[in-house]
Copies of this chain bind each other. A is one copy, B any other.
Amino acid sequence: MSVQQKLFFTPGPAGLFPTVQSHYEQAFREQIGSISHRSATFRKIYQHADEQLRILFQLPKETGVLFTGSATEVWERIIMNTVEHESFHLVNGSFSKKFFEFSQQLHKYAHSFQKPFGEGFDAKEVEVPAYAELICCTTNETSSGVQMRAQEIHKVKKANKDKLLVVDMVSSAPYTDLDFSLIDSAFFSVQKAFGMPAGLGVWFANEAMVEKSKRIQQHEGIVGTYHSLSSLWDNYQKFETPETPNVLSIYVLGKIAEDFNKIGVSTIRKETDRKAKALYDFAQKSDQFEIFVENESHRSATVIVLNCKENSSKVIQELESKTGMVVCAGYGKLKESQIRIANFPNVDFAQVQELIENLKKLF
């Protein structure tokens, strides 16, 4: 493998946030890899991550911070724990579609409202089926670069207060400014905007979610074992986890959330908008690239998807070999005709400008 360091603009696993490696080194110095997950040292690590995430996401006290192996796992756990019969899914790309399919695989009656690839949702067009217990939204579709704005998600919940609402914020946390006093649950994985190596899912869930899981159990439903919501929640009360978790990753997550808080989440959001604008402005003027998502209010700020005139594999290879910058191919069928550019905190405005100049020079 090349010794020259690459700069990743990939939507996950993404480029590492600049402080990540030093946090890992510190963890090794402190022998975090060998501490007991039933020790006071571990409980302090969990508590620190909890505190920093609560600040970053403005979590109310009713909402807990739980850990799983991945965000994919959270899809499964949410359906098992909070859907007795019927779920409802806003499908605006391939990942929200998988979330919907998980519900079917778990033998629930899964409703969906599906948009063509590249189109998104506004609250006013959303009609939730009467018996749906859970509404599943994806605020940022990593596959298509479509976003559903926080304010639209909030409107859906306000119009359906009797139902639980969960938000897949995998590739937009902490950019999306969700109101956690309103929505019931959200989740992400650390290898996206937090710029960490993969292997940890972060799941915010409120007491209403836990109550629902307990009710399903009382009705003789199966909610899983060690990662049922009540098992995760009961352990969380003492800052523990049911199993031996990815301790190193929880430690580093707390440190990164702390780094983000030092920068300030509003600064991160403003910088994300500024970098996104630069990328979309570039594409608008380019004769080689074209913005994929037509409706401006549905365009993602964190995953920018562009149609390419050239074959996109060629674009990606040339960019990487000439500049060391790595962007991602389109998703699924659009692999050869699109590129996806992640706009996460690991890259700053100057680096985005450099990427734009490099893309211009390719042709």
Q: Which A residues are within 8 Å of any B CB, using their own CB?
A: 1, 3, 5-6, 8, 10, 12-16, 20-21, 24, 28-37, 41, 68-73, 75-76, 101-102, 105-107, 189, 191, 196-200, 220, 222, 224-228, 242-249, 326, 328
Contacts and interface: CB of A to CB of B under 8 A. Distances in A.
B33 A20 contact: yes
Contacts of A222: 105-107, 222
Nearest to A221: B107
Contact of A244 (B37, B198, B227, B328): B198
Main secondary structure of the interface of A (DSSP, over half): loop
A115 B248 CA distance: 36
A30 B8 contact: no
Contacts of A246: 69, 197-199, 246
Nearest to A99: B225
Contact of A36 (B33, B34, B73, B328): B328
B10 A36 contact: yes
A20 B36 CA distance: 18
Oligomeric state, in copies: 2
A143 to B, nearest CB: 13
B30 A247 contact: no
B20 A224 contact: no
A71 B72 CA distance: 18
11 contacts: A13-B33, A13-B36, A13-B247, A36-B328, A69-B199, A70-B244, A73-B226, A105-B224, A106-B222, A199-B199, A199-B247
Given A199-B200, A247-B199, A76 B224 contact: yes
A225 B271 CA distance: 37
Given A5-B31, A21-B28, 15 more contacts: A1-B41, A6-B31, A10-B36, A13-B34, A24-B24, A24-B28, A33-B198, A69-B69, A70-B245, A72-B243, A75-B226, A102-B225, A107-B220, A189-B244, A198-B247
A255 to B, nearest CB: 14
Contacts of A31: 5-6, 8, 16
Nearest to A31: B6
A244 B191 contact: yes
Contacts of A76: 224-227
Nearest to A247: B198
B198 A245 contact: yes
B242 A72 contact: yes
Nearest to A75: B225
Contacts of A247: 13, 197-199
A12 B200 CA distance: 19
B1 A248 contact: no
Contacts of A32: 197
Given A106-B222, A244-B191, A34 B21 contact: no
Contact of A243 (B8, B37, B70, B227): B70
